[in-house]
Chains A and B, each alone.
Chain A
Amino acid sequence: MYRYDEFDAAFVADRVAQFSDQVKRRLEGELTEDQFRPHRLMNGVYLQLHAYMLRIAVPYGTLSARQMRKLAFIAREFDKGYGHFTTRQNLQFNWPALKDIPAVLTHLAEVEMHAIQTSGNCIRNVTADHFAGAAADEIEDPRPYAEILRQWSSIHPEFTFLPRKFKLALTGAPADRAAIQVHDIGYQLTKNASGETGFIVYVGGGQGRTPMIAHKIKDFLPVGDLVAYTQAIVRVYNLDGRRDNKYKARIKILVHEMGLEKFMDAVEAEFAAMNKQELKLPQAEVERIQAYFAPPALPSKSVRSEALEARRATDKKFASFVENNVSPHKAPGHGVLTISLKAIGAIPGDASAEQMEAVADLAEKYAHDEIRVSHEQNLVLPHVALDDLPAIYDELVKHKLATANIGLISDIICCPGLDYCSLATARSIPVAQRISEHFGEGARAAEIGAMKIKISGCINACGHHHVGHIGILGLERKGVETYQITLGGSGDETCSLGDITGPGFSEHDIVGAIETIVDTYVAQRRGAGEDFLTAYRRLGMAPFKKALYERDKGADI
Chain B
Amino acid sequence: MPQIVSANRLTDGIVVFLGQGDQWVENFRSAALLADKPALEAGLARAQDAVRANIVVEVAPMDVAETPHGLEPKHIRDRIRAEGPTVRLDHGKQAAHGA
In angstroms, Cα B86 to Cα A50, docked, is: 12
Q: Which of B4-12, B38-46, B64-72 contacts A (4 or more CB under 8 A)?
A: B4-12
Q: Which residues of B contact A28 (CB under 8 A)?
A: 54
Can you list 26 A-B pairs with a CB-CB distance of less than 8 A?
A26-B54, A27-B54, A33-B57, A47-B13, A48-B13, A49-B15, A50-B14, A50-B15, A50-B84, A50-B91, A51-B13, A51-B14, A51-B15, A97-B11, A98-B10, A347-B87, A418-B76, A418-B77, A418-B80, A419-B80, A420-B85, A429-B87, A430-B87, A433-B87, A479-B75, A481-B76
On whether A27 and B10 interact (CB within 8 A), knowing A49-B77, A418-B77, A479-B76, the answer reads yes
Q: Which residues of B contact A29 (CB under 8 A)?
A: 53-54
Which residue from A95, A96, A419, A479 sits with its C-beta under 8 Å from B87? A419
Q: Which residues of B contact A420 (CB under 8 A)?
A: 85
* Interchain nearest-CB distance for A25 vs B (Å): 10
Determine whether the beta carbon of A50 is less than 8 Å from that of B10.
no
Which residue from A51, A52, A430 sits with its C-beta under 8 Å from B86? A430
In angstroms, Cα B96 to Cα A346, docked, is: 23
In angstroms, Cα B80 to Cα A481, docked, is: 13
Question: Chain A contact residues (Cβ within 8 angstroms of B): what range?
Answer: 20 to 34
Which partner residue on chain B sits nearest A28 by CB separation?
A: B54
In angstroms, Cα B57 to Cα A339, docked, is: 39
* Interchain nearest-CB distance for A411 vs B (Å): 18
B81 at the interface (CB under 8 A from A): yes
* Interchain nearest-CB distance for B42 vs A (Å): 22
B22 at the interface (CB under 8 A from A): no
Which partner residue on chain B sits nearest A51 by CB separation?
A: B13
Determine whether the beta carbon of B15 is less than 8 Å from that of A99.
no
On whether A52 and B57 interact (CB within 8 A), knowing A418-B80, A419-B85, the answer reads no
Determine whether the beta carbon of B13 is less than 8 Å from that of A52.
yes
In angstroms, Cα B14 to Cα A33, docked, is: 16
Chain B interface residue count, CB cutoff 8 Å, equals 25
Contact pattern, A 369-382, Cβ under 8 Å of B = 1, otherwise 0: 00000000000000
| Residue among A48, A50, A419, A420 facing the most chain B CB atoms (10 A cut-off) | A50
Determine whether the beta carbon of A49 is less than 8 Å from that of B80.
yes
On whether A95 and B91 interact (CB within 8 A), knowing A50-B85, A52-B12, A419-B85, the answer reads yes
Contact pattern, B 81-99, Cβ under 8 Å of A = 1, otherwise 0: 1001111100110000000
B58 at the interface (CB under 8 A from A): yes
In angstroms, Cα B82 to Cα A75, docked, is: 23
* Interchain nearest-CB distance for B53 vs A (Å): 8
Which residue from B11, B57, B85, B88 sits with its C-beta under 8 Å from A99? B11
B25 at the interface (CB under 8 A from A): no
* Interchain nearest-CB distance for B3 vs A (Å): 16
